[in-house]
Chain A
Amino acid sequence: MSAAVATVGTTSLWDRIRTYSPPPRFLPLIVTIALFAGMFGAGSVRYENFGDPQVFLSLMINNAHLIVLAVGMTFVILTGGIDLSVGSVVAMSTMILAKTLQSGWSLPAAILAVLVIATLLGTVMGLLIHYFDIQPFIATLAGLFLARGVAYLISIESIPITNETFMKWAYEPLTLWSTYWIRWSVVVALVTVAVAAYVLAFTRFGRTVYAIGGNESSAMLMGLRVAVVKVGVYAVSGFCAGLGGLLFALNTPSGNSLHAVGMELDAIAAAVIGGILLSGGRGYVVGALVGVLVLGVIQTFITFDGTLTSWWTRIAIGVLLLVFVVIQRLMTRRQP
């Protein structure tokens, strides 16, 4: 894999690379990693300081919440579903956290409340989807409206978060080496990715997720616990959205019902760019992580350039999405 990324060298190396074919299932992931490396490399060449490791670390810090969201989205998409509610759940979570802290709850209680409510919402959507045959798109659309509505009901105005422990988590830098540092949010995000990768690869739950995405009827006939897993992925996505909301609040310490409008699109885009097929059954959670990083690099590019305006970010993400969707389409067409 690393050999495929470093595409420079002699003809013999080229021959080896040409004849080497990684398992097709890793191909989308490799393409995405190559793209990320390429973009980061191009940025380092073009702009001063772009290659600084801290730029990469900041990328992680700024997108920690999105990484967690994309992990939850990966579970759902792998079963062939979709979760449109995550952006609204992030807003609702920041709102619940801010409101409960404001009314004097202890921090652990507030965090627990956020995670429980978000997971419950996800579970309810999963129940609707599995037991009442409501399409995931519509059920999670209802979740989107519901979560945003709850956020608005709590307060229309922004509520600041002033809890001291929370602010300490938010701003305390974790020094990695010399002057390079990250924040706690990155640690949480990476742990989430690791746990998710483990669950998907090595547990019965994870294998059932892939089986449902491959063919739900077959999974059912094989005697897999389709109902539990199908409801479970939405619960996981809800939990991740709640956790994402907490991380979002670490970056922007306030509860606001207008937070994270359209963030579900970023999460879906990250998953798609990360090589997770929307039809389900194929993809890796690491892909979602790299997908988020690619989105982050685009943003960094535009910040560094200075002459490009912010809306170019949207256009660039759209173009990237297009390229990846077309590549995926061509690849799935080749494999029957």
Chain B
Amino acid sequence: MTDTLTPPPAAPAPERPEPTRPGVVSRFVGSTLLWPILALLLLLVVNVVATPSFLNVRIQDGHLYGNVIDIARNSAPVLLVALGMTLIIATRGIDLSVGAIAAIAGAVACTRLVGAADEGAVTTAIMACTWALAVCVLLGLWNGFLVSVLGIQPIIATLVLMVAGRGLAMLVTDGQITTVHNETFSDLATGYVLGLPIASLIAVGMVVAAAVLTRRTALGMLIEAVGINPEASRLAGVRARTIIWTVYVFGAFCAGLAGLIIAANTNSVNANSLGLWIELDAILAVVIGGTALTGGKFSLAGTLVGALFITTLARTIPNVGIPSEANYLFKAVVVVAVCLLQSPRARAALRVRRPAVSKGNPV
């Protein structure tokens, strides 16, 4: 038991939201962030009751090993996608195409790797990832163009790429499941730096960068302003179009990173299944985190908690002995529960039930 560190386990899990706290906590303490954190803690408690050693973290081969580390590593793709989605939803948009974009990113990276002269080299991996991310930025520009310039509803504008995207990914891989052999590339998902998984370092790094950018500059406020009323914010001198365009590019970039990590995890890409339904998980994470789909406000810390929650849930279900297929049922219950908790109507349901009419449909 000497190599079982009991104090550190508490450190990685509950304090994970720490990096984004300084700017956010003052705004979102109270009901929005409280419930997701409580739910996450509840899940961890359930796990500990089922398997007392659940939170244990061992050091093995110089890395940290354990369920908590696994959760952190597995949550990286969802967290990345949800990060981009948070900012998009804050502008009252939505991006359904992120799963397809992730598939395209994986497809481009893997085909570049296989086609390269020296498949195992470090530079090959870097070049492949750069290419993949460049393609993703292009796709983000396309989504942003449809939404901000042509003014098409976000849900339908991104539906175009969602439908066509997997076809494009199949086109890139020629319908094959492409397998790659590159150490650097697979380190993206399975490697460790300073004992911590690279994947979660990338994801948390992106969250911190986004938090600093949005909360330490006016950008976050501008994004929220656009979400509250694009026309009013434009008249107030905010470049609504540029901001909307930017968040879609950012969302696509994050989705691309997520796709690379997923592809690196299996060292292969299957354009049909890579990132399937990740957009739904990401939207779920965002909603759990307290960012309303009506736009106008967002919580990056909440998204972080939401992404961790979804991954922990996936881990919990087999851990407590329920077949993992039940995961979908639990997700459904969580969605409904979270929405009811956040719905002012549900809270006020005990009072006079007066049907207030919601204004328009944001999605």
A interface with B by C-beta (< 8 Å): 80-82, 128, 130-139, 141-146, 148-150, 152-153, 156, 216-217, 220, 226-227, 257, 261, 265, 268-269, 272, 278-280, 309-315, 317-319, 321-322, 325-326, 329, 333
- A265, B162: Cβ atoms under 8 Å? yes
Sample of 19 A–B contacts (CB below 8 Å): A82-B363, A131-B353, A132-B343, A135-B293, A138-B293, A141-B280, A143-B332, A149-B332, A257-B325, A265-B163, A278-B155, A314-B164, A315-B168, A317-B164, A318-B163, A319-B164, A321-B156, A321-B164, A322-B146
- B161, A318: Cβ atoms under 8 Å? yes
Within 8 A of A (CB), among B338-363: 339-340, 343-346, 349, 353, 355-363
- A279, B153: Cβ atoms under 8 Å? yes
- B152, A326: Cβ atoms under 8 Å? yes
The minimal Cβ–Cβ distance linking B182 to chain A, given in whole angstroms, is 26
- B328, A142: Cβ atoms under 8 Å? no
A149–B335 CA distance with the chains assembled, in angstroms: 14
Question: Of A142, A265, A311, which contacts B170 at CB under 8 A?
Answer: A311
What's the dominant secondary structure at chain A's contact region? helix
Beyond A132-B339, A314-B164, A318-B161, is A144–B280 a contact (Cβ under 8 Å)? yes
Residue B191 at the A interface, CB < 8 A?
no
> For residue B330, which residue of chain A has the nearest CB?
A149
Question: Of A128, A144, A278, which contacts B153 at CB under 8 A?
Answer: A278
Specify which chain A residues have a CB less than 8 angstroms from the CB of B58 in the assembled complex.
Answer: none
Specify which chain B residues have a CB less than 8 angstroms from the CB of A261 in the assembled complex.
Answer: 276
Specify which chain A residues have a CB less than 8 angstroms from the CB of B339 in the assembled complex.
Answer: 128, 132, 134, 138-139, 142
A312–B163 CA distance with the chains assembled, in angstroms: 11
A237–B252 CA distance with the chains assembled, in angstroms: 32
Residue B11 at the A interface, CB < 8 A?
no
Specify which chain A residues have a CB less than 8 angstroms from the CB of B62 in the assembled complex.
Answer: none
A333–B152 CA distance with the chains assembled, in angstroms: 10
B interface with A by C-beta (< 8 Å): 94, 146, 150-153, 155-157, 159-168, 170-171, 175, 271, 276, 280, 283-284, 287, 293-294, 323, 325-333, 335-336, 339-340, 343-346, 349, 353, 355-363
Specify which chain B residues have a CB less than 8 angstroms from the CB of A139 in the assembled complex.
Answer: 336, 339
A137–B181 CA distance with the chains assembled, in angstroms: 40
A312–B175 CA distance with the chains assembled, in angstroms: 11
Specify which chain B residues have a CB less than 8 angstroms from the CB of A130 in the assembled complex.
Answer: 355
Question: Of A226, A309, A317, A325, which contacts B175 at CB under 8 A?
Answer: A309
> For residue B324, which residue of chain A has the nearest CB?
A152
The minimal Cβ–Cβ distance linking A264 to chain B, given in whole angstroms, is 11
- B167, A313: Cβ atoms under 8 Å? yes
Specify which chain A residues have a CB less than 8 angstroms from the CB of B346 in the assembled complex.
Answer: 132
- A311, B284: Cβ atoms under 8 Å? no
Beyond A82-B363, A311-B166, A318-B160, is A138–B287 a contact (Cβ under 8 Å)? yes
The minimal Cβ–Cβ distance linking B229 to chain A, given in whole angstroms, is 17
Question: Of A80, A325, A333, which contacts B361 at CB under 8 A?
Answer: A80
Specify which chain B residues have a CB less than 8 angstroms from the CB of A220 in the assembled complex.
Answer: 355, 357
- A152, B150: Cβ atoms under 8 Å? no
- A135, B362: Cβ atoms under 8 Å? yes
A318–B169 CA distance with the chains assembled, in angstroms: 13
- B357, A216: Cβ atoms under 8 Å? yes
> For residue A133, which residue of chain B has the nearest CB?
B345
13 new A-B contacts at CB < 8 Å, known A80-B360, A137-B363? A135-B361, A135-B363, A138-B287, A138-B339, A141-B283, A143-B332, A148-B328, A217-B359, A226-B355, A269-B159, A278-B156, A314-B164, A321-B159
Specify which chain B residues have a CB less than 8 angstroms from the CB of A150 in the assembled complex.
Answer: 329
Specify which chain A residues have a CB less than 8 angstroms from the CB of B150 in the assembled complex.
Answer: 326, 329
Among A132, A145, A312, residue most surrounded by chain B Cβ atoms (within 10 Å): A145
The minimal Cβ–Cβ distance linking A303 to chain B, given in whole angstroms, is 16
Specify which chain B residues have a CB less than 8 angstroms from the CB of A142 in the assembled complex.
Answer: 331-332, 335-336, 339
- A315, B335: Cβ atoms under 8 Å? no
A128–B165 CA distance with the chains assembled, in angstroms: 32
- List 5 A-B pairs, minimum CB-CB distance, nearest first: A318-B164, A314-B167, A149-B328, A149-B329, A152-B325
